[in-house]
Structure 1
Amino acid sequence: MQDPIPDTLDWLKAELDDALDEDVELEMSEPALSLELRKLYRRKHPETLDRRTYFTALIQLQAELIKLQDWVVDRGEKVVVLFEGRDSAGKGSAIKRITQRLNPRVCRVVALARPSDRERSQWYFQRYVPHLPAAGEIVLFDRSWYNRAGVERVMGFASEDEVGQFFQDVPEFERMLVRSGIRLIKYWFSITDEEQQLRFLMRIHDPLKQWKLSPMDLQSRVRWEDYTKAKEEMLERTHIPEAPWYIVEGNDKKRARLNCIAHLLGRIPYEDVQREPITLPERVFNPDYERGTLPSDLYVPGRY
Structure 2
Amino acid sequence: MTDKKAESLSRKPYEAELLRLQTELAKLQAWVRTEGARLVIIFEGRDAAGKGGAIRRLTEHLNPRVARIAALPTPTERERTQWYFQRYVAHLPAAGEIVLFDRSWYNRAGIEHVMDYCTPEEHERFLRQCPIFERMLVEDGILLRKYWFSVSDAEQLERFRRRLEDPLRRWKLSPMDLESITRWEAYSRAKDEMMVHTDISEAPWYIVESDDKRRARLNMIAHLLDSVPYHDVPEPALKLPERPASTGYERPPRDLRTYVPDRSEQL
Answer yes or no: same fold by TM over 0.5.
yes
Task: Write the distance in 1 (CA, Å) between the matches of 2:261 and 2:130.
Answer: 54
What one-letter code is carried by the residue in structure 1 that aligns with 2:93?
A: P
What is the correspondence of 1:1-304 to structure 2 with a 5 Å cutoff?
Answer: 46-295=6-255, 297-304=257-264
Shift of 1:297: 4.3
- 3-state SS of paired residue (2:263): coil
Measure, in 2, the Cα distance between the counterparts of 1:113 and 1:165: 22
Distance across 2 between alignment mates of 1:128 and 1:180? 16
Amino acid at match of 2:206: Y
- Deviation digits for residues 21-66 of structure 1 (CA, Å, limit 9, x no counterpart): xxxxxxxxxxxxxxxxxxxxxxx85321221101000000000000
User: Which amino acid in the other structure matches residue 55 of structure 2?
Assistant: I
Letter in 2 for 1:53: P
Distance apart, 1:290 and its partner CA:
2.7
**CA-based RMSD:** 1.2
Give the Cα–Cα distance (whole angstroms) in 1 for the partners of residues 48 and 139 of structure 2.
33
Counterpart AA for 2:100: L
TM-score (norm 1): 0.84
Moved over 6 A (4+): none
Question: What CA distance in whole angstroms lies between the structure 1 residues aligned with 2:263 and 2:256?
Answer: 15
- In structure 2, the partner of 1:9 is none
- In structure 1, what residue type is equivalent to 2:249? Y
2-side partners of 1:45 and 1:212: how far apart? 23
1:124 aligns to what SS in structure 2? coil
Give me the whole-angstrom Cα distance separating, in 1, the residues matched to 2:256 and 2:158: 50
SS in 2 for 1:56: helix
One-letter amino acid matched to 2:106: Y
Measured in 2, the distance between the counterparts of 1:291 and 1:217 equals 54
Of 224-233 and 201-210, deviating more is: 201-210
Structure 1: segments with no counterpart, 5+ residues: 1-43
Amino acid across the alignment from 1:107: A
State the alpha-carbon separation in 2 of the partners of residues 275 and 110 from structure 1: 28
Paired residue secondary structure (2:33): helix
Secondary structure, in 3 states, of the residue corresponding to 2:90? helix
Give the aligned residue type for 2:189.
K
> 1:180 Cα shift?
1.5
- Cα deviation for residue 294 of structure 1 reads 4.2
The code of the aligned residue for 2:47 comes to D
C-alpha separation in 1, matches of 2:10 and 2:200: 37
Question: Matches of 2:30 and 2:87 in 1, distance apart?
Answer: 28
Secondary structure at the counterpart of residue 85 of structure 2: helix
Partner AA of 1:232 in structure 2: D
| Distance in 2 separating the partners of 1:80 and 1:278 | 30
Secondary structure in structure 1 of the residue aligned to 2:219:
helix
Amino acid at match of 1:132: L
1:213 shift after superposition? 1.0
